[in-house]
Amino acid sequence: MTEKISVLVDGITVEATDVLRLVLRKPDGGEMPAFTPGAHVDLFLPNGITRQYSLLHDCRQQKHYEIAVHKTPDSKGGSAFIHSNLRAGAQLEISAPRNNFPLDTRHKSLFIAGGIGITPILSMIHHSQAQGLDWRLLYLARAREFAAFRDSIALLGGNRVRFHFDAEAGGLFEFTKSSLGIEPGVHIYCCGPGPMMRAVEAFSAAHAENPAHFEWFKRPENPIETSPNKEFTIKLSLSGRVLRVPKDKSILQVLEESGIDWPFSCREGMCRTCETQVIEVVPDHRDYVLSEAERGAGKSMMICISRARTPFLTLDA
C-alpha cells in the first residue's frame, strides 16, 4: 500500500469563500519529501476517506506543505469533513507527492485556472517566477470572493496576471485566439471546472501550435468514449496467477477479491496511484493522466479503470 507520512496541521486560514488553506508539517519539524510544481498528495482523513490535494507553495520550501480545500456543495465527506472538523494541531497522514501535471520549462507557459484550480497552477507560478521563465496567468472565477489567493497572485505576477470574474464581465470567458492573446509555441496548463477544461481542450485541439496540459479534479461529465466492456484474462508475472476479469468488474476489483493488496485511491483513472506495468499485449486506456506518448508506448495502465484490447494481458504484478 501507499507509504503514509504523519503530519500536523500547523495552521488553517480562510483564503476565499468556502476555501481553506492548510499548512502541514512533520511532528519533529523535519523536511518534507521534495516535490515538483504541479504535484499533489493523498490526504488520509480520520473518517476513512482519501482525497487528493495539490501542493500550492514554492517547491523550494521543504519545511512544510500547503494545500487548499474548497468545500463543494456535493461533498461526499472529504471537503465537508475538513471544513467542519479539522483544527490546527490535528494529526493526519498523507502520501508522498506524485506529479501527473508536470511543468515543461522549455516552453513559454500560459496558465489558465478556474476557481480552486489555481492550486496546482500556483506552485508552477512560484517556480516560473523564481527561475525567470516566461509565463502568464488567466484566472477565472464566478466573482472576486471566490478567487483564492487573488491579492498575493496579483502582487507576485503584476501585469502577467489577468482576472476574469463572470459577475463583473457579464458572462463566461470565451476562449479564442484573440481573447487569449497567445502566440504559437506557448504551452497551456489548465485546471478548473469541467466546462472550462473542455473549452480549453477544444481550443487546443483547433490550435496544435498551443498544446494543452490538464489536471482534472474529478472525472469529466462527458468521459472518454470507450468500446463496450469485454471479458478478458490477466496473468500476474510475479506469481504466475491467471485471473478472469468479467465485463462488470475492473482489474483492481478482481485483484482485491483474490486477496491481492494493491495501492489505489480514486478508482476513476484520475490519480495514478494504481499504475501498473504492462508486460504483454495492448491495454485499453481509459484514464485521464497518461500522455498520448505514454498511451502509445503501452507500457503501463491504470488498473482501476482501464481494460485490455485483447483477450489476454500480462501485468508486472
Per-residue pLDDT band for 223 (boundaries 50, 70, 90) equals: low
Q: Cβ–Cβ contacts within 10 Å for residue 1, how many?
A: 9
Cβ neighbours of residue 101 under 8 Å, at least 6 residues apart? 38, 39, 40, 54, 120, 189, 191, 213, 214, 215
Indicate the length of the chain as a whole number. 317
Q: How confident is the model at residue 264 (pLDDT cuts 50, 70, 90)?
A: confident
In this predicted structure, the answer to whether residue 220 has a pLDDT above a threshold of 70 is no
For 232-315, the fitting CATH number among 3.10.20.30, 3.40.50.300, 3.30.365.10, 3.40.190.10 is: 3.10.20.30
**pLDDT tens column, 164-174:** 999 999 999 99
* pLDDT at residue 92 greater than cutoff 90: yes
Please determine, for residue 225, whether its predicted confidence score (pLDDT) is greater than 70.
Answer: no
Nearest to 122 by CA among 113, 110, 134: 113
Provide the pLDDT for residue 177: 94
| CATH dotted code for 4-95 | 2.40.30.10
- Would you say residue 5 has pLDDT above 90? yes
Q: How confident is the model at residue 296 (pLDDT cuts 50, 70, 90)?
A: confident
Q: Looking at the predicted structure, is the pLDDT value of residue 211 above 80?
A: yes
**pLDDT-wise least confident of 25-39, 133-147, 262-276:** 262-276
User: Taking the domains of the chain in order of start, what are their residue ranges?
Assistant: 4-95, 109-215, 232-315
Q: How sure is the predictor about 2, in pLDDT bands with cuts at 50, 70 and 90? A: low
pLDDT tens digits for range 192-207: 998 999 999 999 999 9
- What is the CATH topology of the domain spanning 109-215? Rossmann fold (3.40.50)
What's the pLDDT score for residue 291? 75
Given a cut of 80, is residue 74 above it in pLDDT?
no
Residue 134, all three cell numbers: 516566461
Indicate if the pLDDT at residue 298 is higher than 90. Answer: no
Residue 233: count of CB within 10 angstroms of its CB:
14
What pLDDT was estimated at residue 73? 81
Residue listed under C-alpha cell 499485449: 281
- pLDDT tens digits along 93-118: 999 999 989 999 999 999 999 999 99
